[in-house]
Structure 1
Amino acid sequence: MSETEAVLSSYLAHLAGERGLAANTLASYRRDLVRYVEHLKNRGHVTFGGVAEDDVTAFLAALREGDDEHRALVASSAARAVSAVRGLHRFALREGVSGHDPAYRIRLPRQLRRQPKAIGVEEVERLIAASGPDGAPLTLRNRALLELLYGTGARISEAVGLAVDDVDLDPAAPQVRLGGKDGRTRPVPLGRFAGEALEAYLTRARPGIAAHGRGTSGLFLNARGGRLTRQGAWEVLQAAAERAGLAGVSPHMLRHSFATHLLDGGADVRVVQELLGRASAVTTTQVHTPATADGLREIYAAAHPRGRR
């Protein structure tokens, strides 16, 4: 038995005994590390002393490319394998078998993020139409909330964090000021549907709902007159989705739908990033001149399905 094989055996015993890894996880580690030790053997290494960083990166490349005997691994599986390799080298260093750790600077492959699915315009309309019983105060609130989430691409935290003064229903240029994660605010135009829904809520529903509470500047209120929470807003969305017969709808899905439908309508990706509060996502190598308020409003009105006035 070679040194690498012996250390691998000891490491797996360590994981099973002292770390108490689950059987499935241990089996995956064993499979990945047996392949790694074989990889080292094919590169002329049967001890850890001569293993270099290039040997480890070559293994990572082999994982992603695959060969005649192994299928290419997706990022998540490759990340697990690299994590196992790094653990093996740390163990060899700690046990005094190796005087260095060639995997120390190896970065895990970036895991692929699954993008949320955008729902269609007709599905959005069904969702909003399912806000609740016509004319009820909480129905007016629910409709205003859903119209705002889809009409502005607001995060749910931004929506429930709004104050009444953050909404400007000036007929010439209606807008809402959203506060992003960086603490800065950004003006986002309001289309006719969102503007009308907010006006109906503010004039016909919010005063009566607020009378049940102790007074708050929050825009969206719960039935007791206090500020609507993230969980409360989530429940509003889920209830409407259930009534509309839509499964798996989330606030982030509405945000993604907002962006997708704007792009489908011809809006430039940089304008969409700006409306989402992601202007910084444009790289510094790109020339980006932020659109004026009037320019954003015109692009929004032309591209968003419910942005026309």
Structure 2
Amino acid sequence: MSDSSAGAGEEAADRDDLPESLIRLLGDYERHLVSERDLAPHTVRAYLGDVRGLLEHCGRLGIGDVADLDLRTLRSWLARLQTTGRSRTTIARRATAARVFTAWLHRTGRVATDPGAALGSPKKHKTLPPVLRADEAEALIRSAAALADDGTAVGLRDVAMLELLYATGIRVGELVGLDIDDVDDERRVVRVFGKGRKERSVPYGAPAGRAVDRWLASGRPALRGDGSGAALFLGVRGRRIDQRAVRDLVHRRIADVPGAPDIGPHGLRHTAATHLLEGGADLRSVQELLGHASLATTQLYTHVTTDRLRRAYQQAHPRA
């Protein structure tokens, strides 16, 4: 069982054990996350689940009022998660959730001081994400295009989605959230709403533009139905396509590329960023294109490109 699934079951049970006052508190916090911070539904669910786990831990320690929540309690919660086998990434995420929650408690006058302000997070292991080589990315698009030669709506859609994912490096959630009007064919940019509903414009190239045009002209009309709305990409039932279908598509098409690593849509995002940097794009531009809030996140890709350069040097240089 994964960390997330184990945590979800645990937290569902915890919720039933919370006193009414804390259930009301969670309701207020949920309204803050939705209305004031405008977070995506899955992010809201994750934050609430993590905070429920924290409050249940407080209950086990005999702490029934958030006014008594302190740094020692927060640290003991994270330590308990570590002893139950949670990963560093999961613990770091829950530490973030705790800090966001305690900051809100302090800001709304529910606690005198913010105990989460001094709460640290375990350092995540920096792993280099697998990416495609340029020739593998080309082979991926070609394999999908070959299957779309019969002009089927699903084939045209799949090629357009793959082209757009690789051309822009957008997240899979951003892709499925696109509406027709978000595509500016003249300027060849797509308007994307990223994390926190932050808007950005991302350029795409001629191949992606042609694929999207073919989809809109011949593919989308064949799948369009009553529930289509303004969605750019549709599933076989005529509604906005979901993220799972896109992930399945990427994994299936990657399997057609000999020797390519098994990556999903996020792997294509890594690939796009890596190829941009290897092609000479500066880090700030890549940060803006990807919608990263921090340059430190984008800097991961410099490690990727350096690692690939090192391997190439060791293979090619006579005195490596």
TM category, shorter: 0.5 to 0.7
Aligned-residue identity in percent: 38
Match of 1:192 among 206, 230, 234: 206
Cα distance in 2 for partners of 1:214, 1:178 equals 22
Q: Deviations over 1:119-177 (max 9, x none)?
A: 1111111111122241221111000000110100010000001011101101xx21100
1:158 corresponds to: 174
RMSD: 2.1
* Contact 2:255/2:262, CA 8 A, preserved across alignment: no
Q: TM-score if structure 2 supplies the norm length?
A: 0.52
Aligned counterpart in structure 1 of residue 157 of structure 2, from 141, 158, 174:
141
Give SS of 1:182's match.
helix
C-alpha displacement of 1:261: 0.5
Amino acid at match of 1:233: V
2:245 pairs, out of 232, 240, 244, with 232
Contact 1:116 1:252 in 2 (8 A): no
Aligned residues: 178
* SS of 2:141 mapped into structure 1: helix
Between Structure 1 and Structure 2, whose CA radius of gyration is higher? 1
Tell me which residue corresponds to 1:277.
Answer: 291
1:167 aligns with 2:183: yes
Comparing both structures, which one devotes a greater share of its residues to helix? 2
| 1:120 is aligned to 2:136 | no
What is the CA–CA distance in structure 2 between the aligned matches of 1:241 and 1:227, rounded to whole Å?
Answer: 23
Instruction: State how far apart, in whole Å, the 1-side matches of 2:227 and 2:122 are.
Output: 52
Q: Which amino acid counterpart does residue 208 of structure 1 have in structure 2?
A: A
Pairs within 5 Å for 1:74-93: none
Counterpart Cα distance in 1 of 2:262 and 2:165: 16
Q: Helix, strand or coil: the match of 2:274?
A: helix
* 1:238-257 deviation digits (Å, cap 9, x = unpaired): 22112334441111111011
The one-letter code of the counterpart of 1:275 is L
Which 5+ residue runs of structure 2 have no aligned equivalent? 1-86, 92-117, 297-320
Q: Please tell me the residue identity of whatever aligns with 1:201.
A: W
Secondary structure at the residue paired with 1:111?
A: coil
Give the partner amino acid of 2:167. Answer: G
**TM-score using structure 1 length:** 0.54
Partner SS for 2:196: coil
Inter-CA distance 141–282: structure 2 relative to 1 (3 Å threshold): same
Output the CA distance in 2 between the equivalents of 1:232 and 1:122.
Answer: 25
* Contact 1:176–1:188 (CA under 8 A) maintained in structure 2: yes
**After TM superposition, where is structure 1 displaced by more than 3 Å over at least 4 residues in a row?**
105-109
SS at match of 1:216: coil
Kindly report which structure 2 residues correspond to 1:180-259, keeping only aligned pairs within 5 A, or say none: 180-211=194-225, 213-245=226-258, 246-259=260-273
